[in-house]
Structure 1
């Protein structure tokens, strides 16, 4: 079953997004190289803020700060599950696949963040930064690395959290960014229960609040690294008996939580545990170190 879902998603992601939007009645207001600009299909607006990169076949809505593949678009547009979108809304629709041979003009390159080297966490300023987020060195050194990277031609360093495709989430006091490829991080220890977080700071905050859990490895963990990774996360979560969600208390977190629960009604929304705070790390920073009993 899991394999069929993954195959169906991968096949759907090959469909040309520009052509798909055309079947819905949306045409670009402006085309610049391989960037296709639209009025957002998600709301009424005066200035186009929705873009498709036709080379990557991915969309991004600047008004909401979200984006992704055709799967992410479909479940957002139709307010449905992944399977419902593929079977009910995409099934049978005559949408062409992109002919990449005809798309010859390269997409204008944006500044690329390049990782130069990775080493164990040791720089005092980074350790102090983590301490300001209430993350202890003892926990940080297990899951984080010190990353030297180049951004727009200049060298920097930050704490790095690696995803399962080799990309990095990088943070420091003055920087928040990613080194491609963007993907989720699945930490598997053989449990049938999994804890889900939006970002690695919330994951580390959970461990800070649950030191016994960190030592026993009694749970598996999934860190999305972005709410646009929901379609990649769903097949993973389907393999677990118990799913606990700790996503952000904001519209993006609401949407991601809703989409996961639509696919997995058994998933438990645990945001009540840090109600009144934007995320688990803010709760930790405000309340100080205190322990929880896992649900």
Structure 2
């Protein structure tokens, strides 16, 4: 696959497969939040039916799919993008024509073929160590699996690391790729624990265990997978165990979304009489994985 072929791939489809959905869909075009100014109230990035995009908040910068990938992943070169497509790292199929992409029904896109332990694919372990700083594979194997899967409109098979959430959906990820088959939080319980720690992503949780290995069995762990799932946890996870209140600990991201989720978690804990501790001031960087990697 060369650049000309890559640029024929539907931009909305590509964005969906990296879990980015339109802020609104109009007749013949899609509007997204800007990747440079994502906190805007309404989307400024327009994808037209001719499969080109323009970001009105970025001095009308625009172009092809490859131009957009360079914007989203500034560390990549065009040559590296082409290589990743040909290696199947950006895992998706090109549709016959540009189609309107809406958020699909849960489980619509991916078919899980097999589940293996984390040691199945050595290059996945290399990614964990070199890109994420997770070198304790024995620990990682208790929480991660290797999944073999395919997209519903293709017979080509792919591999990703991942974990299952409480709705039996799967969070799948590898280098420069992440998707979910059904949204939901992931919960790991330790018998008798009197505290629960919240993380935004599974890699933040594994980073915590790399930094504080002695803490592994002392808490319950809730991985939100997205802060949008926080309210879902309030419906399913009690704030008490027996006659004891559960202490709530937040290790969420140090950004606007993390700020809002932390305050919501604090308010909900107070409402139920549980002590709340925000541990974000104890680390530097955007999240715990950045802190583990020294990216601050």
TM-score by length of 1: 0.59
CA distance in 1, matches of 2:229, 2:238: 12
Match of 1:213 in 2: 215
The gaps in structure 1 that reach 5 residues or longer are: 1-28, 50-62, 64-106, 288-295
Partner of 1:218: helix, strand, or coil? coil
Q: Distance in 2 between matches of 1:148 and 1:30?
A: 33
CA distance in 2, matches of 1:268, 1:229: 20
* Superposition deviation, residue 237 in structure 1: 5.3
Q: Which residue of 2 aligns with 1:139?
A: 139
Is the CA contact (8 Å cut-off) linking 1:234 and 1:260 kept in structure 2?
Answer: no
Q: How does 1:249-268 map to 2 (within 5 A)?
A: 249-265=254-270, 266-268=275-277
Q: Counterpart in 2 of 1:124?
A: 122
SS of 2:141's partner is helix
3-state SS, counterpart of residue 142 of structure 1: coil
Alpha-carbon deviation of 1:46?
Answer: 7.7
Q: Deviations over 1:46-65 (max 9, x none)?
A: 8699xxxxxxxxxxxxx9xx
Residue deviations 1:123-163 (CA, integer Å, cap 9, x gap): 11001111121112111111111101213624210111111
Cα distance in 2 for residues equivalent to 1:213 and 1:127: 23
**Aligned length in residues:** 198
The equivalent residue for 1:187 is 188
Aligned pair in 2 of structure 1 residues 260, 138: CA closer, same or farther (>3 Å)? Answer: same
Give the secondary structure class of the aligned counterpart of 1:166: coil
Contact (CA 8 Å) 1:144, 1:159: kept in 2 or not?
yes
SS at match of 2:142: helix
Query: After superposition, where does 1:238-249 map in structure 2 within 5 Å?
Result: 238-239=239-240, 240-249=245-254
In the alignment, which residue of structure 2 is the partner of 1:224?
A: 224
Query: What residue ranges of structure 2 are gaps of 5+ in the alignment?
Result: 1-23, 34-38, 47-56, 58-100
Taking the aligned partners of 1:155 and 1:257, their CA distance within structure 2 comes to 39
In 2, Cα distance between the equivalents of 1:43 and 1:137? Answer: 40
- Inter-CA distance 194–48: structure 2 relative to 1 (3 Å threshold): same
CA distance in structure 2 between the partners assigned to 1:142 and 1:48 by the alignment: 41
The worse-fitting range, judged by mean Cα deviation, of 184-193 and 145-154 is 145-154
- After TM superposition, the structure 1 = structure 2 runs for residues 198-209 of structure 1, keeping only pairs within 5 Å, are 198-209=200-211
2:52 alignment partner in structure 1: none
**What secondary structure does 2:149 align onto?**
strand
CA, structure 1 residues 250+47, in 2 after alignment: closer, same or farther (shift >3 Å)? closer
Separation (CA, whole Å) in 2 of partners of 1:195 and 1:44: 31
Residue 62 of structure 2 is matched in structure 1 by none
- Between the aligned partners of 1:183 and 1:278, the Cα distance in structure 2 is 22
Matched, 1:270 2:279: yes
Residues 46-61 of structure 1 mapped to structure 2, 5 A cutoff = none
RCO higher in structure (CA 8 A, sep ≥6):
1
Higher normalized helix content (fraction of residues) = 1
CA contact (8 A) 1:195 1:243 kept: yes
SS at match of 1:121: coil
Label 1:213 to 1:30 Cα distance change in 2 as closer, same or farther (>3 A): closer
TM-score with structure 2 setting the length? 0.58
- In 2: Cα distance, 1:46 partner to 1:286 partner: 33
2:5 aligned residue: none
